[in-house]
Amino acid sequence: MNFPFYIARRYLFSKKSHNAINIISMVSVCGVVVVTIALVCALSVLNGFVGLVSSMLSNFDPELKIQPVHGKVFDSTLPAIQEVKRLPDVALFCEVLQDNALVRYRDRQIVATVKGVDDTFEKLTQIDSLLIDSRDGKFILSDEVVNYANLGVGTASSLGVRANFVDPLEIYVPKRDEKVNLSNPASSFNLEYAFVGGVYATNQQMYDENYLLLPLSLTRSLFHYEKEVSAIELSLRPGADVNSVKNQIKSLLGEDFFVKDRYEQQESAFKMMQGEKWMIFLILCFILLLALFNVIGSLSMLMIEKKGDVCTLRNMGADDSLICRIFLFEGWMISGFGVLIGIIIGLALCLLQQEFGLIKLGETAGAFVIDAYPVRVELEDVLLVFITVLTIGLFAAWYPVHYLGKKWLNK
């Protein structure tokens, strides 16, 4: 066994002549334990929220989305786009045309985001599972006679409509290829009609409060496009590697197109959540630093008490470097035992929360899609906590040994 480590272990667990040293050492360990538990639990809860948001996005956002770098639309018949469609890992290929429009129903009107999609969209998003009100119990874009609009629950509420209403929605779009007729402004708008086919709820404000799904052909007629689209949405075959297919599509399309996965499609939301995660991590690390000030006090008092042992070790041939390592190990072991105990307790609490949902979201839980705080433990976070606590603990032990030790150990 390493001699400095052996002596440090004996010092840590042996009874001191001054009981205050034992108390300060225990307080140091408990401080590390509490902060480690907080780090493990806080990071796991934030991971749980990220996973929850990601699962919610999967109901409406495609696995991959192709958008132009310049301009709002592009030609969907380009050879490179058709090559993407023929890739073996691409299961579904949906053309999308999206822009803003004025939507009116009787005396109510709102500006909404119109998203024109083809029939593939139903399979790509499994939107049937999101419908809360529909004509035939399923998603519908058109039949032999009329076109249908599918609205987010907030959009439907703003317009005061439901799926079985007999009057159609009026959808107005400015004519993009004509000047405004000041003498007759109404003639400067394209007008199309669509009956309400269904109302969906994704539990995401962006889609529920502002979106309107229309047939792609109707949307092209509204905006005076023939074969242009604003995006291509893709679903991959089971087992396909998203990053590999994404890179393959990028190589086919070149620099003129963005290829975004689900996280990149909601980049701002995920960046905000990641920012919150690391801000909480830094705050807890600062608290850990304050807690480890106890290590300085504990080591300082221990070094004073063990001056006699230091003289004995020197007479036996120990040099100053070996003596410093003894006290350095002593301080580091306080952090080491604390972080191990804290990680074990933190993981146990996370597992209990996963299984039983012990901590609820509170009185406002009804506004959420879950009742209890979500938890997802990631090995990378546990390792990060372990390394961070040991590193800060090493510096906390290094200060009294290398600065105060010069005086007390007669260096």
Helices (H), 58-144: 79-85, 120-125
> Cα separation of 221 and 194, whole Å?
13
Domain termination site, one of 207, 235, 265: 265
**Six-digit token string for 82:** 């058709």
For 142, which DSSP code? B
Contact 155/211 with Cβ under 8 angstroms? yes
Domain termination site, one of 248, 265, 282: 265
Of 275, 259, 294, 343, the residue nearest 49 (C-alpha): 275
> Cα separation of 300 and 24, whole Å?
11
Q: Are residues 149 and 292 part of one domain? A: no
pLDDT of residue 21: 63
Of 216, 186, 230, 181, the residue nearest 68 (C-alpha): 230
Q: Are residues 280 and 191 part of one domain? A: no
How many CB atoms sit inside 10 A of residue 216's CB? 23
78-132 confidence digits (pLDDT tens)? 999 999 999 999 999 999 999 999 999 999 999 999 999 999 999 898 888 889 9
Longest dimension (CA), the chain: 107
For the chain, residues with pLDDT lower than 70 are: 1, 3-22, 56-58, 182-183, 304, 306, 309, 320, 362-369, 404-411
Contact 350/43 with Cβ under 8 angstroms? no
Q: How many residues are recorded in the chain? A: 411
Q: Are residues 248 and 336 part of one domain? A: no
CB contact burial 80-101 (16+ within 10 A = b; e otherwise) = ebeebeebebbbbbbbbbbbeb
Q: Are residues 294 and 206 part of one domain? A: no
Count of domains forming the chain: 2
- Model pTM greater than 0.85? no
Sign of the alpha-carbon torsion through 303, 309, 314, 316: negative
Q: Are residues 326 and 255 part of one domain? A: no
Contact 350/377 with Cβ under 8 angstroms? yes
Q: Are residues 173 and 299 part of one domain? A: no
Q: Are residues 380 and 283 part of one domain? A: yes
pLDDT of residue 368: 56
Q: Are residues 188 and 89 part of one domain? A: yes
> Cα separation of 345 and 122, whole Å?
45
Q: Are residues 314 and 204 part of one domain? A: no
Q: Are residues 217 and 68 part of one domain? A: yes
- Using DSSP's 3-state secondary structure scheme, residue 197 falls into strand
pLDDT of residue 173: 94
Write out the DSSP string of 335-394. HHHHHHHHHHHHHHHHHHHHHH--SB--GGGGGSS-SB------HHHHHHHHHHHHHHHH
192-201 confidence digits (pLDDT tens)? 999 999 999 9
Domain termination site, one of 232, 250, 265: 265
- With tokens 């495609």, the residue in question is 62
Range of the domain at 313: 3-57+269-408
Q: Are residues 171 and 111 part of one domain? A: yes
Contact 368/48 with Cβ under 8 angstroms? no
Q: For the chain, state the CA radius of gyration.
A: 32
pLDDT of residue 362: 67
Q: Are residues 251 and 290 part of one domain? A: no
Phi, psi angle pair for 107, to nearest 5°? -95, 10
Question: What Å distances lie between residue 125 and 57, 118, 225, CA to CA?
Answer: 10, 12, 25
